[in-house]
A and B are shown apart, each in its own frame.
Chain A
Amino acid sequence: MTGAGRLIRLILRRDRVLMPLWVVLLGLIPAGYVTSFESLFPTAADRLEYATVSGSNAGFVGLYGLIDGSSLGEIVAWRSGFLPIMVALFAALTIIRHTRADEESGRTELVAAGAVGRHAQLAAALITTGVASLALGAILTAAMLGQGLPAEGSVLFGLELALSGCAFAAVGAIAAQLTASARSARTIAVVALGAAYALRVAGDVSALGDGAVSWLSWLSPIGWATHIFPWGTNNWWPVLLSALFTVLAAGLSAVLLTRRDFGGGLLPARLGPATSHMGTPLALAWRLHRGLLIGWTIGFALLGLIFGGVGGSVVSLIEDNQNLGDIFARLGGASSLVDNYFAGTAGIVGLIASCYAVQAALRLRDEEQSGHAEPILATAVSRYAWAGSHLLFSLLGPAVALLAEGVVAGLTYTEGDLGAIVTSTLVQLPAVWVLAAVAVLLFGLLPRLSAAAWGAPALCLLILLVGQTLQLDQWLLDISPFTHIPHLPGGTVAATPLIMLLAVAAVLTTLGLTALRHRNIPD
């Protein structure tokens, strides 16, 4: 552990922009909800109606979790149900960045050769991320107290997010010990988070119905977090469960660290083929992207299973509940409610697909920085052919994933129109491609700022999550290409916005590739 102090300072220096950003931003989002819910639902009766409608909608329960009561704090905490996932994601990625990614790039070796203990790197990363998560929780608690909400609930709400971060920091730490590559470690951590989310969705949606498998939520750290119910039942023991899990998982990662070689992983390395038939840049791109494509497609199919499965409960809920049926009838009838539900999920799925598109496009920058591009471009492969073969996966990969989601959702939701549901997901593609094109443009024109391309889906997510609740101006909403995608099924389709989006994507991509042709490699 010697030297951990110095390493912590190093981590803080390297993350001095990113870490405060997510800590403060995620910590303050619920405060915005308090204000807007106060003005949207001024009376207890308004809040009760909102809580009853939302809390019995399986789609919303899937997204945000179960709703306990209808006090202001409770609906704010419920509507913030996606935040534990985002905090968990940031925490896990931060840990991997400062452990396995450093070790893979050889940076750790420089440090490890100095006077630092074997566990110093892991400890420094865990401590920093843990403290950042707790700081996020403290900011959240302070903001809630500042809004005049009761103390116990505010503290528990802060702990809900803080412990989601801590728990997945520890999960990230375990993932970092398993494989020798940071990329695989990230995949393991994200899959673990996705599984935790899926378990929570399955358990909570089941609790809405007959409750047969509602215990599934209790297998998931994300489920524990959303079952704290701040300001409602004020459950303390999921907090203890999360804390215990964090300690055990962090301990396990430390044990795993001592069981492996420096630079190695626990999963064994195997021998591969001695020859290959690859002979084109496209064949290489297929090799490099195939795991990503398969992983995302499976993930999207699972998402389709969840969203399609939940679609059934949306309808049965309305049929079972006379009051609810009346409310929805007033809102425009059951079929349009189902339509709205699938239109909403299609937007979310489209946004997730754009993360895949950006990730695949930024693979170009990875290839350049790691030195893989140089020997390829020193052969008879042109820059266009090299970039184009990666780009193909950035554009078509999300199409395949979206198709998988739509088909599975349409088949799972048997009462629906398969064609309409598939169309609703595929119609997201022009917006997805615009975000991919932003990544290509940055890569060509400002390669050192390529990673800023992640800001595009993040901004769209922010607009999607808070745009409506905070009643933002239309021009702000219009920044997101997803605002211009027709709401299908049910909505009307205008060709112009779609064509405009495609044109924007084409122009940005062309600019990016042209800039790439004229710049230094590596830059």
Chain B
Amino acid sequence: MTDAIDVTGLVKRFGQVAALDGLDLHVRTGEVHGFLGPNGAGKTTTIRVLLGLMRHDGGSARLLGDDPWASATELHKRLAYVPGDVTLWPNLTGGEVIDLLGRLRGGLDPKRRAELLERFELDPRKKGRTYSKGNRQKVALVAALASDVELLILDEPTSGLDPLMEEVFSEVILEEKRRGDRTVLLSSHILAEVEKLCDRLTIIRDGRTVETGTLTDLRHLTRTTIQADLAGPPDGLASLAGVHDFQIDNGRVRFDVDTDALSPALQTLVKVGVTSLVSQPPSLEELFLRQYSRPES
């Protein structure tokens, strides 16, 4: 089966500034794909290109096997979109907006709509101007999730939701995932959410893809922190490939080590003789921080 989203070398310029600068994004049909990156990395811009709202200047973008710019109207019948910053018409009620967006997309399931309204605890009779940020977000979420579409494009859908509602959102997405035929592109800043929901993820920075793969693949990229008291001098440990930030102080060493280099590093330690050892497991958090802040190479 072809990928639901197939983006290669995407370039998008705003005047002189390249917001996207050779971005790759491949989302397989039926998966929940996390889309991460620091503020201004280009997530929203990528999504707007995929929705045919903006035209790209280079590279290629395919959505559900079609050109997102030329076939925008046709493609939009098969997808639902939740923008990052939901604004509602001040004098339309939430219920009216849900119905309108659903119909414009080609219809929505009234039973599913009612169920989602209840689960998200949303009063559909309130006027747009009286909703809080979180409730505006819920209006767009209900409208998108109640449509029977192949692809959901969600741009930071939980920003503004309280933890309880974030939980409801996660449950709903996991249910979607179990159906198996819906693809979800989920841009997010919340790592716990991505870890819980996503099959694979892509991290971008400055308009470029820096990492992509499954969570296990990415865990592989994380580093374990090791602190040990040694019996003798740690010969060659500092120069071992995959060992980072090596410090030694009075027979106590502290270093980070890539998952790949864990065995050789431990063997070196054992050879010298270890009197105490503390190891900190790899965390995705630390990987993200490293990816987010890594200077341009």
Contacts and interface: CB of A to CB of B under 8 A. Distances in A.
Contacts of B88: 372
A520 B99 CA distance: 27
B159 to A, nearest CB: 14
B87 A284 contact: no
Interface stretch (A275-283, A423-431, A473-481): A275-283
Nearest to B107: A279
Contact of B104 (A270, A372, A381): A381
User: Which residue, A276, A371, A379, has most C-beta atoms of chain B within 10 A?
Assistant: A379
- Size bracket of the A interface: 35 or more
Given A180-B129, A269-B129, A275-B99, A371 B76 contact: no
B100 A284 contact: yes
Interface in B120-156: 123-127, 129-130, 140, 153
Interface stretch (B77-85, B174-182, B213-221, B286-294): B77-85
Contacts of B130: 269
Interface string A264-294: 0000011111111111110110011000000
B83 A374 contact: yes
A392 interface: no
A371 B124 contact: no
Given A370-B87, A371-B85, A376-B104, A276 B129 contact: no
B95 A520 contact: no
Contacts of B129: 180-181, 269
Nearest to A291: B91
A380 interface: yes
A518 B81 CA distance: 21
B106 interface: yes
Contacts of A280: 103-104
B266 interface: no
Interface in A197-245: none
A283 B140 CA distance: 19
B240 interface: no
A281 B99 contact: no
Interface stretch (B50-58, B161-169, B204-212, B267-275): B50-58
B76 A271 contact: no
A288 to B, nearest CB: 7
A375 B81 CA distance: 7
Interface of B: 48, 51, 53-55, 72-74, 76-77, 79, 81, 83, 85-93, 95-96, 99-101, 103-106, 123-127, 129-130, 140, 153
5 contacts: A272-B125, A284-B100, A371-B87, A377-B72, A520-B48
Which 3 interchain pairs have the tightest Cβ spacing?
A: A279-B103, A276-B96, A379-B104
